[in-house]
Amino acid sequence: MHEVSVMSSIIDSVLEELKGYQVERVEEVDLTIGALTFLGEEQLKFAFEILTKDTLLEGSILVIDTEEVEVRCLSCDYLGPAEVLENEGFHGMVPILHCPRCGQGIEVTKGKSCLVRSVKAVEKDVPIQG
């Protein structure tokens, strides 16, 4: 279950970034996860709940948006979704890595992301000096 190690890295990165602020608590963490990462949303949420205990992130909501697969053809300039083989034994989909229009080679333009989009945090009250 690589979701635990991925989520651990995400949490470490968020906590490191928050060190520069006087954060009281975190309310929400928004992620974008590409379909080609094959990361399970429920497994990520479970790992988030367990790994955030006793941190600033404990009790915050994890919001996950899925980035669908998009490909660009290197020959005919097709830009759009990849064709997929339905395969229940492998996370439900396997992308076909050729153009659905002309059959030539493609490059994946979307669907590989694992990105923290935003963190909604509450900062501590800081007295105004003056």
List the domain boundaries for the chain: 2-123
Counting DSSP H helices and E strands in the chain, the numbers are 2, 8
Give the separation between CA 68 and CA 93, rounded to whole angstroms.
12
Give the separation between CA 68 and CA 58, rounded to whole angstroms.
29
Average pLDDT over residues 71-87: 85
Whole-angstrom CA distances from 130 to 83, 84, 115, 118, 127 are 63, 63, 40, 32, 9
Domain 2-123 has CATH 3.30.70.360: no
What per-residue confidence (pLDDT) applies to 126? 72
pTM: 0.80
The pairing of strands 70-73 and 114-123 is: unpaired
Can you tell me whether residue 51 is helix, strand or coil? helix
Taking only the tens place, the pLDDT of each residue in 20-58 is: 899 999 999 999 999 889 899 999 999 999 999 999 999
Identify any residues that bridge with 115 across adjacent strands, giving them in sequence order: 32
What per-residue confidence (pLDDT) applies to 103? 87
What per-residue confidence (pLDDT) applies to 10? 97
Q: Which of the pair, 68 or 128, is modelled with greater confidence?
A: 68
Give the separation between CA 26 and CA 19, rounded to whole angstroms.
12
What per-residue confidence (pLDDT) applies to 129? 75
